[in-house]
Amino acid sequence: MNNNYKTLAVFEYSTEAHVVKSRLDSEGLLTMLMDEKTIDADPFISNAIGGVKLLIHYKDFEKAAAIYNEIRIYQKDKNGNAISCTNCSSNRILVAPIQRKNMFYMLFPFFEKRRYICNNCKTIF
């Protein structure tokens, strides 16, 4: 990977990455995708190689992050209503990374409760 680029986001499929890349390209930012062709050839290995990485030139990274945070899709509850942060009441809620510290959840991950993280204050609830 080129040292002048940083990873902004990782996507499971290249089509998702292309939508965000197109938006950032329209703003004149320098972007590129990594592992796109590999996952297009065999989508089942996306999780194994870490997905399609959207890379942004280091000088454009802050602007790209601000644009991405405005256009990304945030979580909703089962009724379609926005979920609010328990700390700052923001509606910018994402699914928190999985932390399988217990052997039971490593063997049976579907029993693990979904946790959320606020994109503003980084509170996990």
Q: What is the pLDDT of residues 68-123, one digit of tens each?
A: 988 888 888 888 888 999 999 998 898 887 777 778 877 787 787 888 989 889 89
Q: What is the pLDDT of residues 22-58, one digit of tens each?
A: 999 999 999 999 999 999 999 888 888 889 999 999 9
pLDDT at 2 over 70: no
pLDDT at residue 82 in the model: 87
Q: Residue 53 belongs to what H/E stretch?
A: strand 52-57
Three-point CA angle 33, 1, 16, nearest 5°: 15
Residue pointed to by tokens 């979580």: 75
Distance CA 56, CA 6 (A): 5
Q: pTM of this prediction? A: 0.70
